[in-house]
Amino acid sequence: MSAFARLSAGAIAQGVNSGATTALAVMEETVARLAAYDAHQPQVWIARADPAALRAAAATVDARVAAGERLPLAGVPYAAKDNIDVAGLETTAACPAFAYAPARSATVIARLEAAGAICVGKTNLDQFATGLVGTRSPYGIPRNAYNRDYVSGGSSSGSAVATAAGLVAFALGTDTAGSGRVPAAFNHLVGFKPSKGRWSTRGLVPACRSLDCITVFTDALADAALVDDVIAGFDAQDAFSRPRADVALGGRRIGVPLAGQRQFFGDVEAEFLYDRALAALAQVGELVAIDIDPLLEAAQLLYGGPWVAERTAAVAALLESNPLAIDPVVREVIAPGSAMKATELWNGIYRLAELARAAEGMWEGVDALAFPTTGTTYRVAELLEAPVALNSNLGRYTNFVNLLDMAAIAVAAGTKSNSTGFGITLIGPAHTDKALIELAGAYLSVADLKPLPPLDLGDRMDTVKLAVVGAHLEGMPLHWQLTSRNANFVGAATTAPAYRLYAMADSVPPKPALVHVGEGGAEIALEVYELDLASFGSFTAEVPPPLAIGTVTLADGSSVKGFVAEPRALTGAEDITHLGGWRAYIASR
C-alpha cells in the first residue's frame, strides 16, 4: 500500500473491533504518515498532538475494545480544523493573537472521542474561517494535494488536504459560505455539510454564528454517514442546536440552473465535466431546469449585506484592540460590518425572508438541486493578486445554502487536466441529510469516474495538452518542433463533428487550417501531445500567422489547446474536410 493511500474510517474501526488490528498499530502507521508528509506540506497543520499522547489514546481504545465495547470509530485517526476546540491543544482560528487554551472540547470532539476516534491535530484554515481559498493564514498556505500550484480551497484548507493525502481517515471542517464543500471539490473528496443545528457548534469559534455548520471531509460516502451517525443529535448547551430529524426527499426531481445561468468563468473543462455529471444524474432522476436568480440574490447577502456584521461581531474585540493582528484581506472583508446600521440588518432580514419564501416554492417543483460546487479553480499566485474578486467567484453556487437553511453534500465529478478536482453539490431542504447521501450514492454508482491522479509531492510539473492536425503530426516536416521540446505523445483522436479542414494556399511547408463551424462540420483526425508550460509557451511563440493556438473540442467532449486559424487563412484555400484529416490529404497528392 502507498504511504499516502487514503484511509477508510469504517474499515479501520471494523479491523480494531474485530481484533484484526489494534488502535495502537493504526496510530503507529498514522504517526509515520504524518512525519513523511511533513516534508512536503507542513502548512497543513497549526498544531499536532504529541506522538506519545496519541499512542496512549490508542492504547485506551484498545483497552475499551478488549473490555467488550464495540466502538463505531475505534482507533480511527482524524483531524479538526483549528477553529474547533480540542482540549489539550490551543485554538487559534489561524490568528496567533486570538489563541486560547480551551477548558474542554467541543461537543462534536467529545462525541467522536466517545466513539473511539483519536484527534491527531488541528489543521490550518483561512483566518477566522473567512475565505474559500486557503491562502489567508499566517501559518502558511496549504496547497491542493494534487497540484500545488493551485489552491486547496478554504476555509477548511488543511482539513481537506490532510484527508486527501491519507494522513487521517476524516477531518472536521466548518461551513458558513461553502468552506466544507469547495475544498472537497478541489481535492476529490466528499464534503458533507449537515443541516444547521444537526451537529452542535458548541466549542466552535463563530464566523457567522447563526449560519455556521461543522462539516466532515471523507474519501467515501459511507464514512460521511458513519461520522454523522456519531455526531448528530441535540445539544442543550448550544442555543442553535436542533433535534435530529431525517426527512426523505419527495422524489428525484433534480433542479439544475437554466443554461444561461451556468457560469464557469471561462473554464471549459469545468463546463464539460458538469454536463457529464448531469448526464449521469439523468440516469437516477429527472433533471428540471430552474431559475436560480433568487438563490444568487440570497448568496449576495452573505458578503454584500448585513451578515458581514455578524462576522465582525465574532472578532469585534480583536478588531478594535489589535486590528493589525488580522490578515489584511480578512480585515478588509469584516471591518465594514462595524459601520452597518440596525436598519440595514432588518432590511436584509426582510429580504432574506422573501427569498426564503421563493425557495420554499422552488421545492414544490424539485426535490433536490445539483449545482457545480464551483465554476472554476485558481492558482495560488492568481488568488494572491486578486484575493477578493476570485474568492467571490468560488462562492457563486455555495453562499446561499446556509442562509436558506439547506443541507448539502459535495462529491467528485471528474479530474481536470491539471489534476485538480471538479465536483458537484447536491442540495436539499433542511433535514434531508441522509436522503442526500443516498442520492449521492446513486449518482456515484453511474458516474464512471477515473481513478485519482497521483499526489503532488513536489515533483509534479504543470503540463498542457496540445492537438496538432497537420505539419506537426508524427512523420510530417515540423514534427521536430515537438520532439525537440520533449513533448509526450498522448494519443490519436478526432475533433468533435463541428470543424472543417482546409489546405492553405502558398504555405511552405504545406499546412492546414482548422476552422470551427458548428453545424455542417465533421470529425477531423489529429494527434495530442503533452508539453510542460515553458515548452508550450516557446512553441506558441513560434506559431506564424494566420495560424494561432486556441481551444479545440475533441469527439469525447473534452477540450485541449490546438491550432486554429484566422479568417484570412481561407483565402484561396482548398476545403479538404471530406478526407477526414491531413494525412489523407497528403496521401491524395
The pLDDT of residue 557 is above 90:
no
- Percent of the chain's residues with pLDDT above 70: 100
The pLDDT of residue 204 is above 90:
yes
Which CATH number is correct for 9-447, 3.60.60.10, 3.10.20.30, 3.90.1300.10, 3.20.20.80? 3.90.1300.10
At residue 1, the pLDDT reads: 54
Residues 470-482: tens digit of each pLDDT: 999 999 999 999 9
527: alpha, beta or left? (left if phi > 0; alpha if psi -120 to 50): beta
Q: What does the pLDDT average to over 541-568?
A: 93
First to last CA, the chain: 55
At residue 379, the pLDDT reads: 95
User: Cell digits for 235?
Assistant: 445539544
> What is the rounded distance in angstroms from the CA atom of residue 540 to the CA atom of residue 103?
60
Q: At what angle do helices 342-362 and 293-304 cross, to 10 degrees?
A: 160
Label residue 74 by pLDDT band (50, 70, 90). Answer: very high
Residues 185-200: tens digit of each pLDDT: 999 999 999 999 999 9
User: Cell digits for 267?
Assistant: 473554464
Other Cβ atoms less than 10 A from the Cβ of 27: the count is 23
| Catalytic residue status for 2 | no
Handedness of CA 330, 335, 336, 340 (dihedral sign): positive
Query: Coil, strand, or helix at residue 219?
Result: coil
User: Cell digits for 343?
Assistant: 436598519
Label residue 94 by pLDDT band (50, 70, 90). Answer: very high
Label residue 497 by pLDDT band (50, 70, 90). Answer: very high
At residue 462, the pLDDT reads: 78
Whether a cis peptide bond, with omega within 30° of 0, leads into 294 is no
Classify burial at 353, counting beta carbons within 10 Å of its beta carbon; exposed 0-12, middle 13-18, buried 19 or more: exposed
Query: Coil, strand, or helix at residue 9?
Result: helix
Query: Could you give phi then psi for residue 463, rounded to 5 degrees?
Result: -130, 165
* Residue 34: closest CA among 22, 46, 19, 45: 45
Q: What does the pLDDT average to over 330-339?
A: 95
At residue 108, the pLDDT reads: 98
Strands of the 190-193 sheet, one edge to the other: 45-48, 118-123, 77-81, 170-175, 213-218, 190-193, 406-415, 421-429, 368-372, 253-257, 286-290
Determine the residue type at 18: S
Residues 26-41: tens digit of each pLDDT: 999 999 999 999 999 9
> What is the rounded distance in angstroms from the CA atom of residue 174 to the CA atom of residue 151?
17
Mean residue pLDDT of the chain comes to 96
* Residue 183: closest CA among 107, 310, 79, 335: 79
Question: Annotated catalytic residue: which of 8, 105, 152, 155?
Answer: 155
User: Cell digits for 262?
Assistant: 451556468
Rounded to 5°, the CA angle 131-137-141 comes to 95
CB–CB of 150/418 below 8 Å?
A: yes
| Catalytic residue status for 419 | no
The pLDDT of residue 461 is above 90:
no
The pLDDT of residue 420 is above 90:
yes
Strands of the 499-503 sheet, one edge to the other: 512-516, 499-503, 574-575
CB–CB of 329/278 below 8 Å?
A: no
**CA 559 to each of CA 260, 425, 461, 473, 552: distance values in angstroms, whole numbers, following the listed order:** 21, 23, 20, 19, 6
User: Cell digits for 258?
Assistant: 437554466
Residues 293-330: tens digit of each pLDDT: 999 999 999 999 999 999 999 999 999 999 999 999 99
Cell 472578532 found at: 315
Q: What does the pLDDT average to over 425-448?
A: 98
> What is the rounded distance in angstroms from the CA atom of residue 117 to the CA atom of residue 115?
6
Query: Could you give phi then psi for residue 520, rounded to 5 degrees?
Result: 90, 5
Residues of the chain with CATH 3.90.1300.10: 9-447
Architecture of the domain whose range is 463-588? Roll (3.10)
User: Which secondary-structure segment (H or E) carries 494?
Assistant: strand 488-494
Q: What is the pTM of this model?
A: 0.88
CB–CB of 261/293 below 8 Å?
A: yes
| Catalytic residue status for 445 | no
Q: What does the pLDDT average to over 388-405?
A: 97
Q: What does the pLDDT average to over 409-431?
A: 97
Query: Coil, strand, or helix at residue 344?
Result: helix
Question: Annotated catalytic residue: which of 157, 159, 179, 200?
Answer: 179
Q: What does the pLDDT average to over 65-87?
A: 98
Residues of the chain with CATH 3.10.490.10: 463-588
- Percent of the chain's residues with pLDDT above 90: 96
> What is the rounded distance in angstroms from the CA atom of residue 491 to the CA atom of residue 467?
10
The pLDDT of residue 46 is above 70:
yes
Q: What does the pLDDT average to over 565-585?
A: 96
- DSSP line for 398-447: TTHHHHTTEEEEEEEEEE-TTS-EEEEEEEEETT-HHHHHHHHHHHHHHH
> What is the rounded distance in angstroms from the CA atom of residue 584 to the CA atom of residue 588?
6
Question: Annotated catalytic residue: which of 81, 122, 196, 416?
Answer: 81
Label residue 459 by pLDDT band (50, 70, 90). Answer: confident
Backbone Cα Rg of the chain: 26
* Residue 62: closest CA among 93, 89, 23: 23
